[in-house]
Amino acid sequence: MAEATTEAARWSRLSMRSRLLLGILLPVGVLVAINTVSLYREALGAVDTAYDRTLLASAKAIGELLGVASTPQGPRLLASVPYSALEAFESGNSTRLYFKVIGFQGEMVSGYDDLPAWHGKLPDRSKYAALVDFYDDFYRGEPVRMAVLLQPVAGEAGIGQATIQVAETLDLRHALARQVLLDTLWRQATMLAVIAGVVWLVVQRSTRPVRALSELIEAREADDLSPIPAPGLPTELQPLIAATNEALTRQARLLEHQKRFVRDASHQLRTPLAVLKVQVQSARQGDVEPMQALAEIDTTVARATQVANQMLALAKAEQMRQQGAQSDAAMPLQDWSEVTRAVALDLAPLIVQQGLDFDIDTEPATIASHEWALRELTRNLLHNAILHTPAGGSLRIQLALLGRWARLTIADSGPGLSPAQQARLFLPFASGDSQSGSGLGLAICHALVMSLGGRIELCNRVDGEAGGHGIAGLDALVDLPLS
């Protein structure tokens, strides 16, 4: 297991060019090696066949010199074979031929008496037009190739079958085999070198766009998030470039949002901090009464705390929005009706303080979301509605099911939205009243709704009793998909 992990690590460290070269040249090298062995064996077979034919010819030449003599015991084989008769079949000084002739009764007639006797049998099928058997043996301590020919011999004294053995040393055969092997290896090595050169050139040209792309990305500035140009790149790289450009676009949007958020947040916090510093200096100098100074400082600190908390909530909501909608399996399930009633209970003191005519009607609605997201969404909308509803006005909350959606409606009886406010709706720090809030509440709501795959709309409610021209209040409508 450890060795396999090590090999995988080594392979992962290789470049694409090295992987392509190894992936192509290794199989080609194996095939060339197999082909070399096959060619060598075929060449050896052809060499053996050629020399075996010469060996058979020498045995037949000896057979032509045999005769039959008449004896009281019957026909007897006669052989007068000078060694010079075999010189024509010797291939150079490195090859020696030995022969042995066996008579009709198995007696030694001529040749080398110590030549090993034949104890084999004729092959069932032979490619030669003769009763011959070829095999490898040893004679006088060196390997030889043996041919045994069963030769019929006829004469006036009778007829019989002689056994002729001819042995040849293998020096020349081995030398020729080595030469064949060297020639084969040389040709195969040349072919492999040509293939390797062609493959290397093709891989170099094929990976050139990858290297050019790498150099282009490396030369970019650290803050350059513009799309990467991809003219003339291979088709295989187009999905990578498209995915990279999409990621760069998302990063650019996120970076721009962060820059805008930091800029706006610093501006919003700078004002209460500056006011706080002036209030502290005034209190120290005795310009205002201590209790009044503490009250003013408390109000400024509360406002700065609210802005900071809302900025953190907006940042978290924007993070969820950038990550995109998540599946039901990845998020817990929440009952929106329970969250809505809990938020209304938390804000009940404000409702009582305003003396509002409050009504709430909810149905169970299961939403895939974190509880803090639903609570923050509902709390911001309801808090805005309470702040903008005049004392003694009406405020209604309704949570109903519409098919596969859950709709939350928060209807107040406030002044509604002006055209200027409608134009900047859901933008951070776009509050129409600097004394009532920081302008982050609706931006937080919008980001949360988008992250949950829903819809949000704020629209003025027309007063039907006033001829359809007066504004009776504002309806905040939020649709979220049911789990």
Read off the CATH number of the domain in which 399 is found: 3.30.565.10
Residue 45 CA to residue 447 CA, distance in Å, equals 83
pLDDT (0 to 100) of residue 313:
64
pLDDT (0 to 100) of residue 434:
43
pLDDT (0 to 100) of residue 324:
54
CB atoms within 10 A of CB 119: 6
342 with 285, same domain: the answer is: no
96 with 77, same domain: the answer is: yes
Among 171, 202, 233, which residue terminates a domain? 171
Residue 134 lies in a domain: yes
When divided into structural domains, the chain yields a total of 3
Among 118, 152, 171, which residue terminates a domain? 171
Residue 26 lies in a domain: no
Ordered strands of the 470-481 beta sheet: 357-362, 394-402, 405-412, 470-481, 455-463
Beta bridge partners of 146: 135, 167
What does the pLDDT profile of the chain (483 residues) look like in tens digits? 556 566 666 666 667 777 777 778 888 888 888 888 887 788 778 888 888 888 888 888 888 888 888 777 778 887 776 655 566 555 556 678 888 888 888 888 888 888 888 887 888 777 777 888 988 899 988 998 899 998 888 877 778 888 889 998 888 887 887 888 788 888 888 888 888 888 888 888 877 877 777 787 888 887 777 888 777 777 777 888 888 888 888 888 777 767 766 766 665 666 677 777 777 887 787 777 778 778 877 877 877 776 676 666 666 666 666 555 444 446 788 899 999 999 899 888 888 888 999 999 999 999 988 888 888 889 889 988 998 899 989 999 999 999 899 999 999 998 888 877 776 776 665 554 544 445 567 877 888 888 888 999 998 888 765 455 678 888 999 999 998
Residue 366 lies in a domain: yes
463 with 340, same domain: the answer is: yes
pLDDT (0 to 100) of residue 307:
67
- Helices marked H in 286-370: 290-323, 336-346, 348-354
Tell me if 122 sits within 8 A of 131, measured CB to CB.
yes
CA distances from 404 to 321, 479, 483 (A): 22, 10, 8
Residue 58 lies in a domain: no
CB atoms within 10 A of CB 262: 11
162 with 98, same domain: the answer is: yes
Residue 304 lies in a domain: yes
461 with 377, same domain: the answer is: yes
Distance of CA 203 to the CA centre of its chain: 20
Residue 10 CA to residue 28 CA, distance in Å, equals 22
pLDDT (0 to 100) of residue 346:
86
CB atoms within 10 A of CB 147: 27
Which residue range is the domain that position 417 belongs to? 328-481
Tell me if 55 sits within 8 A of 91, measured CB to CB.
no
263 with 378, same domain: the answer is: no
